[in-house]
Amino acid sequence: MSKETIDMIVEGGKASMTPQLGQKAGPLGINIQEILNDVNKKTDAFKGIKVPVKVYVDTSNKSYEIEVGSPPTSELIKKENELEKGSGTPNALKAGYLSIEQVIKIAKMKKDSLLVYDLKGAVKNVVGSCVSIGILIEGKDPKEIMKMINDNEFDDFIKNEKTEMDSEKKKLVDKEVKRLKDNYKKVMKETAEKKAAEAAAVPATTEASVAPTTAKKEEKKDNKKDVKKR
């Protein structure tokens, strides 16, 4: 039995024919469109995100298996908040906000690639990532949410795999995301301006300290000249 591997990077749910794919799959005599349809079904949960996919083709009978990779959990979290990066000081400055439904949604995406026994374990993994990049969950610090999960306070959400918010909650979450993102940008801008001002002040301080020193040297020279004249 001979197997060939086709590596792809696709946007979730939107895999399509490309010249590169045609070159790889064409000689294998397989139904490429059928494979693309199956890839789209398996990657539908990753809409808007690029994901790695491997297609293992058995050349003896044209059967195939599809293996979908997964982006890092932190990337999925940032995608939910449309963030380029997380907070550099997560304990002091929060960069985003997730609902428990969004946490469960990400956990479902990651579950198969994590060393966890169930969805609850995957949810806790996502919450842990929120700690490291400064993301609030349900308006609370993720460490507090972790304790609530351990106390089974979100079991109904997790057991029912609830990933959708009602319209009112979505409005609230969107509002909080905007507030935190705006505040994060403001603080980062102020920090950058402060550092720039401090850097600009260093040469001025150096010049100011050099001037008196130079004046003292000149004064000493003048004194020596006076002594010689006497």
Q: What is the CATH number of the domain that holds 50?
A: 3.30.1550.10
**pLDDT above 70: residue 165:** yes
Show the tokens assigned to 116.
């966890």
Lowest mean pLDDT among 7-21, 140-154, 157-171: 7-21
- Which pLDDT band, with edges at 50, 70 and 90, does 58 fall under? confident
In a domain, 39, yes or no: yes
Amino acid at 116: V
Task: Give me the pLDDT at residue 212, please.
Answer: 60
C-alpha distances in Å from residue 92, one per residue of 4, 132, 134, 229: 50, 11, 8, 68
Q: In this structure, is the dihedral angle defined by the CA atoms of residues 94, 99, 100 and 106, taken in order, positive or negative?
A: negative
Do 94 and 13 reside in the same domain of the chain? no
Do 85 and 58 reside in the same domain of the chain? no
**pLDDT above 90: residue 162:** yes
Percent of the chain with pLDDT over 70: 87
Output the domain CATH number for residue 147: 1.10.10.250
What does R_g of the chain's alpha carbons equal in angstroms? 29
Task: Give me the pLDDT at residue 220, please.
Answer: 58
What is the per-residue pLDDT across 169-197, written as a single tens digit (0 to 9) for each?
Answer: 999 999 999 999 999 999 989 988 998 99
- Which pLDDT band, with edges at 50, 70 and 90, does 69 fall under? confident
Do 162 and 87 reside in the same domain of the chain? yes
Task: Give me the pLDDT at residue 26, please.
Answer: 84
Do 63 and 83 reside in the same domain of the chain? no
DSSP 161: T
Average pLDDT value over all residues in the chain: 86
In a domain, 149, yes or no: yes
In a domain, 206, yes or no: no
- For residue 10, the cross-strand partners are 51
Highest mean pLDDT among 39-53, 82-96, 165-179: 165-179
Global pTM value = 0.64
Task: Give me the pLDDT at residue 214, please.
Answer: 57
Instruction: Say if residues 192 and 102 touch (Cβ distance below 8 Å).
Output: no
Helix (H, G, I), strand (E, B) or coil at 116: coil
Angle at 84 (CA atoms; ends 79, 89), nearest 5 degrees: 110
In a domain, 101, yes or no: yes
Write down which residue in 50, 68, 86 finishes a domain: 68
In a domain, 103, yes or no: yes
**pLDDT above 90: residue 24:** no
Do 114 and 51 reside in the same domain of the chain? no
From CA 36, how far away is CA 66, in angstroms rounded? 10
- Which pLDDT band, with edges at 50, 70 and 90, does 137 fall under? very high
C-alpha distances in Å from residue 32, one per residue of 21, 57, 66: 9, 11, 13
Look at the block and give the residue holding tokens 């909650």.
169
Task: Give me the pLDDT at residue 198, please.
Answer: 87
C-alpha distances in Å from residue 77, one per residue of 4, 106, 138, 142, 158: 34, 7, 14, 13, 18
* Tally of structural domains, the chain: 2
Do 93 and 170 reside in the same domain of the chain? yes
Instruction: Say if residues 77 and 124 touch (Cβ distance below 8 Å).
Output: no
Do 64 and 36 reside in the same domain of the chain? yes
Do 86 and 176 reside in the same domain of the chain? yes
DSSP 114: S
In a domain, 86, yes or no: yes
- 199 vs 143, higher pLDDT: 143
**pLDDT above 80: residue 207:** no
Do 16 and 45 reside in the same domain of the chain? yes
Helix (H, G, I), strand (E, B) or coil at 68: strand
Please state, as a whole number, how many other Cβ atoms lie within 10 Å of the Cβ of residue 169.
14
In a domain, 224, yes or no: no
Do 77 and 64 reside in the same domain of the chain? no
Do 81 and 114 reside in the same domain of the chain? yes
Q: Containing domain of residue 134, as a range? A: 73-188
Q: Which of 175, 97, 104 is nearest to 140 (CA)?
A: 97
φ, ψ of residue 3 to 5 degrees: the values are -120, 140
**pLDDT above 70: residue 223:** no
